[in-house]
Structure 1
Amino acid sequence: MKLDNKKIFETLNPNKVWVPVLIGIAIVFGLFYADPNVNAKTLKGVFDAAPIGIFLAILVILGRDAGYIYRIREITDRQLTWTRALYVIILWEFASAVTPSIVGGTAVAVFILNKEGIKLGKAMAYVMVTAILDNLFFVIGAPIILYFAQGNIFPESRLMEMRLGKSLEVLFWSSYALYAIYSIVMAAALFYRPRVFKWILVKLFSIKWLRKWKYDAHEYGNQIIEASKELKGKTIKYWAPIVGATIFIWSSRYLMLNALISAYDSLTFYEHVIVFARQVIMWIVMMISPTPGSSGTAEFFFTQFFTEFLGGYTFVTSILWRLLSYYPYLLLGAIFLPRWIKQVFFVKKES
């Protein structure tokens, strides 16, 4: 696998933090002026939050980050120290925050791990494992949580009905099917028959109108084979903590909003399940957003999905939600990136 350093550093550019920030601010102001229920009095509602709810939201999001750090250490067979794992996760989250969600920060993650001293084949294997596990959590977990939500998962708002109608449900289930197929195919390729996968891939891209990508397909097939070799022979002792950490990470990601909503309104257990389930739907919507880190898309759909639980507190809660779950990684990435570059490109070189 060849990494294009120029493109990587174009992504890892601290100046890019302004793009999602400005998009997010523009959407927030748009919602502010479009919603007659939002005014100065509404904004003061941020101080009505129960401190215990805010504290739990912060605690859960910190727990999620700790889970990411723990998982990357376990996946790399503890080749990374806690400090180096912290750098990897912050820069990985930063890359995801400044690129469209559908693109993600996969290539950047491979690059970062490689510069941390992990061989390229292993780095790719580790990043692919995280992607497959994250997708499998959604593929396996979504039907379970949606079952417990008893079908009450799609918001019933006039705006959603006028503009989207049933298309949101179609979008969700179509995306779910694609994620399921992708996850199963990639898991089979990585853990079962990597050479068969490469053969099929090369044959597919031998078709006349796909032929210009045949070389890339051949290279990708080689990468899958190499990554598969790196993971061969791993035992349950290796996989158990990684799978457990994945479940913890994604549960924490969603429970943060449950805690935040609880700071403004007490929820029954069933309502907590609905809030959790609707975040699964929102995740799909955000994953296909063309904006960096789903800026604007997340703020807009938040109001459609959770107004019935928050009422007049919807606007301030959406801002707090993004302030806790998204914007910190833009700031931390801009702070940590120059230090990381100095450490891996200059200090190591001198050593």
Structure 2
Amino acid sequence: MKLDNKKIFATLNPNKVWVPILIGVGIVFLMFYLDPNVNAKTLRGIFDASAWGIVLAIFVILCRDVGYIYRIREITDRQLTWMRALYVIILWEFASAVTPSIVGGTAVAVFILNKEGIKLGKAIAYVMVTAILDNLFFVIGAPIILFFAQGNIFPESRLMEMRLGRSLEVLFWTSYGLYAFYSLVMAAALFFRPRVFKWVLLKIYSIKWLRKWKHAANEYGNQIIEASKELVGKNYKYWLPIIAATIFIWSSRYLMLNALIGSYQGLSVFEHVIIFARQVIMWIVMMISPTPGSSGTAEFFFAQFFSQFLHGYTFVTSILWRLLSYYPYLLLGAIFLPRWIKQVFFKKKEQKKK
């Protein structure tokens, strides 16, 4: 993988925070304008939330971040200190927040790990492992979660029926199928047959109209082989903590919204299961959003998926949800990025001169 510093820093540009913010705020104002139920009284409803519910939501999202930091330390065999792992996760989240969800921050994550002193081959392997584990959480976990929801997974909304019909279900299962296929292929390539994967890749890109990308395919195949070598010999003591951390991270991410909705409305255990399951549906749909960090897409779908549990509090809860789960990483990334650049580039140059 060739790390193009200019492209990486173009992604990690603090000025990019305004794009998702403006999209998100624009959608919020549009919803405010179009929804007759949203008014000044509705906005004051933010103070009706249970303080303990809000505190619990904040605690759960902080647990998720601790889980991310712990997982990246374990994946890298603790080559990163807790502080360096914190920087990596904040900048990785920032990169994901300012790029379309379908693109993600993979190249940026490899760049960050490499600049933290981890060899390129290992950095690629570690980033690929996190991506595969995250995808497998959906691939394996989604059917289990949806089973417990007993079919109450797609929202019954007049607006959804008018504009989307059954296309939401088609979109979900199509996205699920693509992610399942991608995850299984990449897992097989990384852990079992990297050379076979490269051979198949080169055969595909030998087709006449795909030939111009054959060099890039060859390079990608080499990266897979190199990454696979870095993971050979890892035993269960390596894999169990990071698998457990992955389950913990994504469960915490979703339980934050359960806590937030619960701060406004009393919920039964089954309703908590439905809210959790619907987040899985919504997240997979959001993964193919063309906007930075699913900005706008998330706000729109939130109302469709969860209004039946929130009644008059849907609008304010959607704002709180994004304020807790998305916008902090834009702010933290803009704060931490200049410090990280100074630490990684300028301090190291000064140390070399000495």
TM-score of the alignment, normalized to the shorter chain, above 0.5: yes
Which position in structure 2 is the counterpart of 1:279?
Answer: 279
**Aligned partners of 1:15, 1:344: CA distance in 2, in Å?**
21
Report the equivalent of 1:249.
Answer: 249
Aligned to 1:84: 84
Query: Secondary structure at 1:102's aligned position in 2?
Result: coil
CA distance in 2, matches of 1:13, 1:82: 25
Q: Residues of 1 paired with 2:53 and 2:289: CA distance?
A: 29
Provide, for residues 141-195 of structure 1, a one-character-per-residue CA deviation record: whole Å limited to 9, x for no partner. 0000000000000000000001111110011111111111111100000000000
| Aligned-partner SS, 2:289 | coil
Residue 316 of structure 1 aligns to which amino acid in structure 2? V
Deviations 1:94-118 (A, max 9, x none): 0000000000000000000000000
Q: Which amino acid aligns with 1:244?
A: A
- Which secondary structure does the structure 2 equivalent of 1:338 belong to? helix
Shift of 1:340: 0.1
CA contact (8 A) 2:175 2:285 kept: no
In structure 1, C-alpha distance between the alignment counterparts of 2:291 and 2:176, rounded to whole Å: 21
Q: Which residue is equivalent to 2:225?
A: 225
Cα drift, residue 312 of structure 1: 0.5
Q: Which amino acid aligns with 2:265?
A: D
Please report how far the alpha carbon of residue 128 of structure 1 lies from its aligned counterpart in structure 2 after TM superposition: 0.1
Deviation digits for residues 70-127 of structure 1, max 9, x if unmatched?
0000000000000000000000000000000000000000000000000000000000
Q: How does 1:284-303 map to 2 (within 5 A)?
A: 284-303=284-303
Tell me, yes or no, if structure 1 residue 37 matches structure 2 residue 37. Answer: yes
Following TM superposition, by how much is the alpha carbon of 1:317 offset from its aligned partner in structure 2, in angstroms? Answer: 0.1
1:141, 1:99 → 2: CA distance?
A: 26
Query: Does residue 5 of the first structure (1) align with residue 5 of the second (2)?
Result: yes
Letter in 1 for 2:347: V
Question: When the two structures are aligned, how many residues end up with a matched partner?
Answer: 351
Distance 2:177 2:304 in 1: 24
* 2: CA distance, partners of 1:59 / 1:283: 21
* Residues 136, 180 of structure 2: 8 Å contact kept: yes
Q: Give how far 1:349 is off.
A: 1.4
Question: What is the CA-CA distance between 1:136 and the residue it aligns to?
Answer: 0.3
Q: Normalised by the size of structure 1, how large is the TM-score? A: 1.00
Q: Which residue of 2 aligns with 1:326?
A: 326
SS at structure 2 position matched to 1:246 = helix
* Alpha-carbon distance in 1 for matches of 2:264, 2:42: 13
Spell out the pairing of 1:50-199 with structure 2 (5 A cutoff).
50-199=50-199
Q: Deviations over 1:262-291 (max 9, x none)?
A: 000010000000000000011012111110
Equivalent residue letter for 2:302: F
1:251: how far off?
0.2
Residue 336 in structure 1 maps to residue 310 in structure 2: no
CA contact (8 A) 2:92 2:108 kept: yes
Give every structure 1 segment of 4 or more consecutive aligned residues whose post-TM-superposition deviation is greater than 6 Å: none
Q: Unmatched 5+ residue regions in structure 1?
A: none
**Distance (whole Å) between structure 2 residues aligned to residue 59 and residue 302 of structure 1:** 21
Name the CA distance, whole Å, in 2 between partners of 1:255 and 1:348.
41
In 1, Cα distance between equivalents of 2:348 and 2:316? 45
* Counterpart for residue 20 of structure 2: 20
| 1:321 Cα deviation from its structure 2 partner | 0.0
The residue identity in structure 2 corresponding to 1:295 is S
Residue 312 of structure 1 is matched in structure 2 by 312
Following superposition, the deviation at residue 348 of structure 1 comes to 1.2
Tell me, in whole angstroms, the C-alpha distance in 2 between the residues paired with 1:67 and 1:152.
29
Deviation at 1:337, TM superposition (A): 0.1
- Unmatched 5+ stretches in structure 2: none
Structure 2 CA distance for aligned equivalents of residues 100 and 175 of structure 1: 16
| Partner amino acid, structure 1, of 2:199 | W
The TM-score with structure 2 as length reference comes to 0.99
Which amino acid letter does the alignment assign opposite residue 60 of structure 2?
V
Show CA shifts across 1:33-77 (max 9, x none). Answer: 100000000000000000111011000000000000000000000
Q: Deviations over 1:208-267 (max 9, x none)?
A: 011111000000000000000000000000001000000000000000000000000010
Letter in 2 for 1:328: P
Give the corresponding residue for 1:203: 203
Q: Tell me the distance in 2 between the aligned counterparts of 1:284 and 1:176.
A: 7
Task: Name the amino acid aligned to 1:26.
Answer: G
The whole-number CA distance in structure 1 between the counterparts of 2:3 and 2:149 is: 43
Contact 2:53/2:263 (8 A) holds in 1: yes
Q: Provide the C-alpha distance between the structure 2 equivalents of 1:180 and 1:24, rounded to a whole number of angstroms.
A: 29
